[in-house]
Chain A
Amino acid sequence: GAGVSQSPRYKVAKRGQDVALRCDPISGHVSLFWYQQALGQGPEFLTYFQNEAQLDKSGLPSDRFFAERPEGSVSTLKIQRTQQEDSAVYLCASSSPNERETQFFGPGTRLTVL
């Protein structure tokens, strides 16, 4: 596609529910990143994939957060047993060595946990 797409754009969950957020990177981009952006703050790194390999998950805040990219393209960020502090915008970005790994961002998914 022309850009990074994410779905859903908005998600409201009750505390304790599981959610799954999807990211479609730019076609051909090898690297994919997830960031969390709390209200009024800059994005914070969660995890990074190169193709299907998750190379860095140091930013995942707890074991309730899980990300996968099984075929090296679409990625899913799953949050289990959501808590109110999980409310944030979840951003996905992708990059390519052809552009010196400059990251291009999707529109984000705004998650609200009630």
Chain B
Amino acid sequence: AQSVSQHNHHVILSEAASLELGCNYSYGGTVNLFWYVQYPGQHLQLLLKYFSGDPLVKGIKGFEAEFIKSKFSFNLRKPSVQWSDTAEYFCAVRPKAAGNKLTFGGGTRVLVKP
């Protein structure tokens, strides 16, 4: 069965530090890729998405992600985090051959210390 792996369950860092969250998936065909964020007490919000074209995708709030097809990865990055980036981050994959449903990773909790 296809799966999505987020290797870090918890990340703690200080403001202005750089952030990189890993995401790997096991599906071999064409996929659409997403990162969602859930701030404390709020619902899941779309951070960025990749469908095709330039593998470096820019999203909201200074986040970006790079799709590396050969590594089945879609890592999320932010050069300098803020306290307000404290949240849980979810990677999601939508294989084109599997309809429209999303398969999510287990999430990474990020705590940014002021």
| Choice from B36, B43, B45, B107 contacting A108 with Cβ under 8 Å | B43
Query: B101 → chain A, closest Cβ, in Å?
Result: 4
Q: Is the CB of A59 within 8 A of B44?
A: no
Within 8 A of A (CB), among B7-47: 32, 34, 36, 42-46
Q: Is the CB of B100 within 8 A of A105?
A: no
B103 at the interface (CB under 8 A from A): yes
Known: A42-B90, A43-B90, A102-B49. A107 touches B43 (CB 8 A): yes
Q: Which residues of A contact B103 (CB under 8 A)?
A: 45
Q: How far is the CA of A33 from the CA of B101 in the complex (A)?
A: 8
Size of interface on B: residues with Cβ below 8 Å to A: 24
B104 at the interface (CB under 8 A from A): yes
Q: Is the CB of B90 within 8 A of A48?
A: no
Nearest to A95 among chain B residues (CB) is B100
Q: Which residues of A contact B102 (CB under 8 A)?
A: 33, 35, 43, 45, 103
Q: How far is the CA of A104 from the CA of B104 in the complex (A)?
A: 14
Q: Which residues of B contact A55 (CB under 8 A)?
A: 99
| Choice from B36, B51, B99 contacting A48 with Cβ under 8 Å | B99
Q: How far is the CA of A108 from the CA of B92 in the complex (A)?
A: 18
Q: Is the CB of B107 within 8 A of A42?
A: yes
Known: A55-B99, A100-B51. A106 touches B104 (CB 8 A): no
Within 8 A of A (CB), among B86-105: 90, 92, 94, 99-105
Known: A91-B44, A105-B43. A42 touches B101 (CB 8 A): no
- Could you list 7 A-B pairs, sorted by A, with CB under 8 Å? A40-B107, A43-B44, A45-B101, A56-B99, A91-B44, A100-B32, A107-B42
A-contacting residues of B (Cβ < 8 Å)? 4, 6, 32, 34, 36, 42-46, 49, 51, 90, 92, 94, 99-107
Q: With A48-B99, A95-B100, A103-B102 given, can you name 7 additional A-B contacts, CB distance below 8 Å? A: A42-B105, A59-B101, A100-B32, A102-B34, A102-B49, A105-B43, A108-B43
